[in-house]
Amino acid sequence: MRGHARMQSYVRSESVVSRVIAGETLIVPVRKGVGDLASIYSLNEVASAIWQCVQTPRNVADIVSTLEDEFAADPQQIGRDVADFLNEMSSAGLINAVGDAA
C-alpha cells in the first residue's frame, strides 16, 4: 500500500530564520545568505504552535494531536488549520515535506 499525504512529514526549511518577539513568531526567509525582509511572516498563536511542532520532522496526525492538547477547538477545525498552514508554508518554501513517516 502506498503512503498518502496524511503520513507525510514536514520540517522547517533550513533557509529561514525565526524569532519570537513580544510573544509573536516572525519568520524571515533567507536568500543568498541575506534575510528577505520584504517576505517576513508573522504567525498567530495557532500557526506559532504548528511552527514549534515542525522543528523536527512531524506528520500531520502528530501535529493535530499536539494542537488538540493545547487548544480547546474542534478537532476538524484544527485539522483544516494545520493543512492550510502546511500548504501555505510549503508553497512559500518555508517548510519542506520529507517523505513518508515510518
Encode pLDDT of 38-57 as tens digits: 788 999 999 999 999 999 99
Q: What mean pLDDT comes out for the span 5-11?
A: 77
How, if at all, do strands 16-21 and 34-35 pair? unpaired
Q: What pTM value is reported for the model?
A: 0.82
Residue-range domains of the chain with CATH: 14-92 (1.10.10)
